[in-house]
Amino acid sequence: MQDDMAQGVGARLRALRESTGVSLRGLAKALGISPSAVSQIERGHLQPSLGRVIAMTEALGVPLTSAFAPGRLPPGAIVRAEGVVVARSGDNRAVPVRGGVTIRRLTPRPVDGVEFFESVYPPGSASNAGAPVQHEGLELGTVTSGELTVELGSETLTLCAGDSISFPSTTPHLLSNRSSVNAVATWIILHPPGGVPRTPQGDDDPSLVSPHE
């Protein structure tokens, strides 16, 4: 099952790369890795860490969450004429990344400039396979269950259910679960003006546009 999910993420990353017109070698150069490594990720032979997925989507200028769910509406989504969209539970599947963490998009479709997703951290798991990551934007998170350890630079914080945090994404950060039960958190990443990942052409459904926009 995890191999199938890794292939799904890889296939979406490949589709995102192709839709933005970036070559495999061009993406590899931007990431500082080999074209072979990019190819292995896209074919699902290598499960990327969350940090790697963030780097790939930033290099492509697309939303992070578009790598974890199709850009278009999930099959069960309901669209109203006023631009209201409803997605049912299970429409956006949780996807594992290297390090044991799973990610699930919480919006029924990508939203330009904003990422909204849920992360589940099993006992002993860590984001980005245990290596600190930094990127553009501002992060806001709330722990909904369990206990999450957040390392920000040289500071270490422990967050329990109901606790929330915000920090610049440019600060090196690592999230891990040092407890014996699952930790669950919801996250919003706000991208800075001028550096806003946008949904690739062809992924927007015109029926979602409000008549007031």
Count of structural domains within the chain: 1
On whether residue 40 sits in a domain, the answer given is: yes
On whether residue 212 sits in a domain, the answer given is: no
120-142 residues labelled b (16+ CB within 10 A) or e (exposed): bbeeebbbbbeebbebbbebebe
**Predicted local distance difference test score (pLDDT) of residue 71:** 52
Interior angle at CA 155, CA 153 and CA 157, nearest 5 = 125
On whether residue 196 sits in a domain, the answer given is: no
On whether residue 50 sits in a domain, the answer given is: yes
Domain that holds residue 101: 2-190
Q: Report H helices in 61-207.
A: none
- pLDDT tens per residue, range 105-152: 888 877 778 889 999 999 999 988 778 888 888 999 999 999 999 999
- pLDDT tens per residue, range 171-190: 999 999 999 999 999 999 99
What's the CATH number where 184 sits? 2.60.120.10
On whether residue 200 sits in a domain, the answer given is: no
- Residue 140's alpha-carbon distances to 115, 118, 164, 186, in angstroms, are 10, 12, 7, 8
On whether residue 213 sits in a domain, the answer given is: no
**Predicted local distance difference test score (pLDDT) of residue 196:** 47
Would you call 86 exposed, middle or buried from its count of C-beta atoms within 10 A (0-12, 13-18, 19+)?
Answer: exposed
On whether residue 64 sits in a domain, the answer given is: yes
DSSP 35-65: HHHHHHHHTTSSPPBHHHHHHHHHHHTS-GG
On whether residue 201 sits in a domain, the answer given is: no
- pLDDT tens per residue, range 49-71: 888 888 898 888 888 877 876 55
**Whether pLDDT at 199 is above 80:** no
Query: Amino acid identity, residue 164?
Result: S
pTM tops 0.75, yes or no = no
**Predicted local distance difference test score (pLDDT) of residue 180:** 97
